[in-house]
Amino acid sequence: MSAADRADDLSMNETPYPPLPVLREVVQDGAALLNRYPDRLSGALTAGLARHLDVDPGTIIVGPGSAGLLQLMVQAFGPKPEVVHAALSFEGYPLIARNAGATSVAVPMDGHRHDLSAMADAVTDRTRCVLVCNPNNPTGSVLHRDELTAFLERVPADVPVVIDEAYRHFVTDRGVPDAVDLHRSHPNVCVLRTFSKAYGLAALRVGYAVVPPGLAMAIRMMGIVFLTGSLGQAAALRALEPDVTAELERRCAAVVEARTKLAADLRGLGITVAPSETNFLWLPLGDKAAGFAEAAARAGILVAAMPDRGVRVTIGSDEANARFLDFVRSLDR
Ligand SMILES: Cc1ncc(COP(=O)(O)O)c(C=O)c1O
């Protein structure tokens, strides 16, 4: 599919920007060594991430996208049978729990936010791990430092708590903690991050986790020998350099500006929009969600519908956002 064909795909939370030229170059150069197996420990990228985050390299695992890595983590955390997470949260969690032979304990939300108190109540001696999505997909909400710390105090120290920060780069709320800091004070905290969203490297499948050193080897041993390809490792390592970081920060700031504008415009049209700290908006349309998404598709705009709950709309290019707004204006409501 060409880039133009995908211009109005607002369903996948991808960046609207094309890959940075320096990262394309790294991938093109890497093609010269396609006959070679990748570094199975992602040594250079792991060392680069350790410097970037100021953590011990032994706590970092690089994996095949953060979803693929989470799958290995939940398998490695076994054998207890239950994985606690919020509902409505990332749709991959129940699937990952099931694939790892666990039962998913989906704890109802408090409005658009995780109900951390109910989640702590759901932790028992059957709990394999807890998954916390901050900011949350699909509702865009955030959890603050004090409430997360209070939650962590209630979870037994031998139960891993994975804080999934896939959308961290789009957060402007200063009350939201860096989960790596929480990992320093609470060793059972595992931080999950991705190069797919703000870094715009979704096709390369690179994610990483910061985990207790005692768990790192067990997680690595769960996977097939080669977790992440060479091109992904090289592009992700280059993406940590200051010139790329500066450009990505500019891009994220532009996405945040577009998010603020689109949310205000939609509210101006009478649409309820949940506060968002991500690169998408959550429209809690309830039983109108499916019909709305179908009408959007007929208008050439793809959005993600969660039937009977709402619709998630990725912040796209200015043109795509304007077309989405025109579509909403055209609706007979
Ligand atoms: C909250 C969350 N976590 C993880 C992922 C997985 O991303 P990836 O596997 O591309 O790193 C996604 C993708 O949409 C997500 O929304």
CATH number at residue 306: 3.90.1150.10
Residue 4 is predicted with a pLDDT of 43
End of a domain among 185, 208, 240?
240
Does residue 6 have a pLDDT over 60? no
At 24-39, the pLDDT tens digits run 999 999 999 999 999 9
Strand spans (E) along 144-289: 161-164, 189-194, 207-210, 280-283
333 pLDDT tier (thresholds 50, 70, 90): low
* Among 123, 84, 83, CA closest to 107: 84
Q: Count up the domains in the chain and report the number.
A: 2
* Mutation probe of ligand 1 site: the residue of 90, 132, 199, 315 with most atoms within 8 A of C-beta: 90
CB distance 278 to ligand 1 below 6 Å: no
Average pLDDT for 154-178: 98
Which helix or strand (DSSP H or E) is residue 188 part of?
A: none
183 & 254 share domain: no
Does residue 225 have a pLDDT over 90? no
CB distance 90 to ligand 1 below 6 Å: yes
155 & 260 share domain: no
Residues pairing with 193 in the sheet: 208
- Dist. CA 194 → ligand 1 center (Å): 7
Does residue 166 have a pLDDT over 90? yes
Give CA angle at 166 (164, 171), nearest 5°.
Answer: 105
Residue 163 is predicted with a pLDDT of 98
Highest mean pLDDT among 55-64, 214-223, 224-233: 55-64
Residue 36 is part of a domain; what is its CATH number? 3.40.640.10
Q: How many CB atoms lie within 10 A of CB 14?
A: 17
Structural domain of 291:
9-17+243-328
Does some domain include residue 24? no
Residue 293: both structure tokens together: 């998404």
311 & 169 share domain: no
> Cis (ω within 30 of 0) for the bond into 307?
no
Q: What is the DSSP string of 15-55?
A: -SSPPPHHHHHHHHHHGGGTTSPP-TT-HHHHHHHHHHHTS
* Among 281, 272, 264, 265, CA closest to 315: 281
End of a domain among 188, 220, 240?
240
Does residue 103 have a pLDDT over 50? yes
195 & 49 share domain: yes
Q: Is 156 helix (H, G, I), strand (E, B) or coil?
A: coil
Does some domain include residue 277? yes
CB distance 133 to ligand 1 below 6 Å: yes
Average pLDDT for 61-85: 97
72 & 168 share domain: yes
Strand spans (E) along 53-123: 60-63, 82-87, 103-108
Residue 233 is predicted with a pLDDT of 96
Q: Is 253 helix (H, G, I), strand (E, B) or coil?
A: helix
165 & 311 share domain: no
247 & 137 share domain: no
CB distance 65 to ligand 1 below 6 Å: yes
Does residue 274 have a pLDDT over 90? yes
CB distance 207 to ligand 1 below 6 Å: yes
Amino acid at position 28, single letter: Q
Average pLDDT for 87-99: 97
Give the HSE-up count for residue 142: Cα atoms under 13 Å, Cβ half-sphere: 23
Residue nearest to atom 6 of ligand 1 (CA): 67
Does residue 5 have a pLDDT over 70? no
- Dist. CA 210 → ligand 1 center (Å): 16
Ligand 1 atom with least separation from CA of 70: 4
End of a domain among 202, 217, 240?
240
Mean pLDDT of the chain: 95
Does residue 142 have a pLDDT over 80? yes
Calpha distance 87→90 (Å, rounded): 8
Residue 224 is predicted with a pLDDT of 75
- Dist. CA 200 → ligand 1 center (Å): 12
